[in-house]
Amino acid sequence: MSAVLAVDLGGSGSRARLVAPDGVREVTGERLRVSPAGLVAAPLVTSLVSQLGLRAGDVAAVCVGSSGILTLSDGPQVVLDAVRSALGEVRTVVASDAVTSAVGALGGRPGAVVLTGTGSTALGTDLTGCWRKVDGWGHVLGDAGSGSWIGMRALQAALEQHDGRRADAPALLASAVERFGVPETWPRQIYMREDRAGVLASVVTDVVALAADEDDVAAEILAAAGRELARSLAAALRPPVPPLASWTGGIFGAAVVLETMRESLRELRRDVVLEPPRGSSLDGAALLARQALAGDLEPAEPLLTVH
């Protein structure tokens, strides 16, 4: 069995898995950042390869799944160049993290998956000619139901409480003040950061804790996230994508998000079978690397590049 390398780059962190004849090794790294020039992906790839101690000739195929590869970069070339620089000429797949997540969660079967962490995307595929991406437009224009989306709405509610525009969110305001300090400093702390989406998503733990304490506003924000994710998943499930679906991402650790999404999807599409995920985006990347090595993987630009 030839060795393959799977890499996952996301707003919450980066991971790499080496699958070799002598075993499996995994390493973790920093989260993916966005600079004025676009995604800062190449240094993460280089760092993960270095942590694994890999050199040219050590692996037969690589798959890099990355958040924002479609919307926040000029394409896959910067990742391809980073892989070539670290590992030489090797068969390489660069894919949206929506693709690797869908392949991993469904175990390589056709269907649709909604991915939500710092950002959110849904992807539906028949594994042949259709690879349909929904949302994933970033925390300003989209990413409905994501960690950044939840954090933004929580801070908006807190500021409305601070301004006297509402009176039902004192707990959210107190929690946000404990995290960020006085509200007048929040715009600078968020707007001036390159990783502002991650900063917004950091608020999710506070929202989940307040919802667990039966705070109605926090609970409704999480429920609204579930409804948004169901809408994205239903859009990804249009024909020719079969009615099989799953989910992946840390936001689903909040039970209210998952249960509300399940209920909302049932209202939108009663025919859909919603299953727990079989694997992660890293599992999907490993599977795609194997398929590329076997010559069984067709490119689907711009979501899936095979070099």
What is the pLDDT, as a whole number, of residue 233? 97
Q: In whole angstroms, what is the distance from residue 261 CA to residue 274 CA?
A: 10
Give Cα 201 distance to the centre of its chain: 12
What pLDDT, on a 0 to 100 scale, did the predictor assign at position 38? 62
Torsion sign over Cα 60, 65, 69, 72: negative
Q: How far apart (Å, rounded) are the C-alpha atoms in residues 193 and 212? A: 30
Token pair of 6 as six digits? 């799977």
For the cut 90, the answer to whether the pLDDT of residue 155 exceeds it is: yes
Q: What gap in Å lies between CA 66 and CA 50, rounded to an integer?
A: 18
CATH number of 4-101+278-306: 3.30.420.40
Q: Please state, in angstroms and as integers, the Cα–Cα distance from residue 32 to each residue in 10, 16, 140, 198, 307, following that order.
A: 5, 13, 17, 10, 22
**H or E stretch at 34:** strand 33-35
Residue 40 pLDDT level (bands cut at 50, 70, 90): confident
Residue 192, pLDDT score: 86
As a CATH number, domain 134-274 is 3.30.420.40
Query: Are both 4-101+278-306 and 134-274 of the same fold?
Result: yes
Domain boundaries, the chain: 4-101+278-306, 134-274
For residue 71, the model assigns a pLDDT of: 58
Query: pLDDT grade, residue 250 (50/70/90)?
Result: confident
Q: What is the pLDDT of residue 35?
A: 67
Amino acid sitting at position 137: W
pLDDT at 285 over 60: yes
CB-based contact 23:182 (threshold 8 Å): no
pLDDT of residue 234: 97
**pLDDT score, position 36:** 63
Torsions phi, psi for 216 (to 5 deg): -65, -40
Residue whose structure tokens are 């995920």: 277
Bigger pLDDT: 230 vs 116: 230
Percent of all residues in the chain with a pLDDT value above 90, rounded to a whole number: 62
User: Phi/psi at 232 (nearest 5 deg)?
Assistant: -65, -45
Give the residue-averaged pLDDT of 272-277: 96
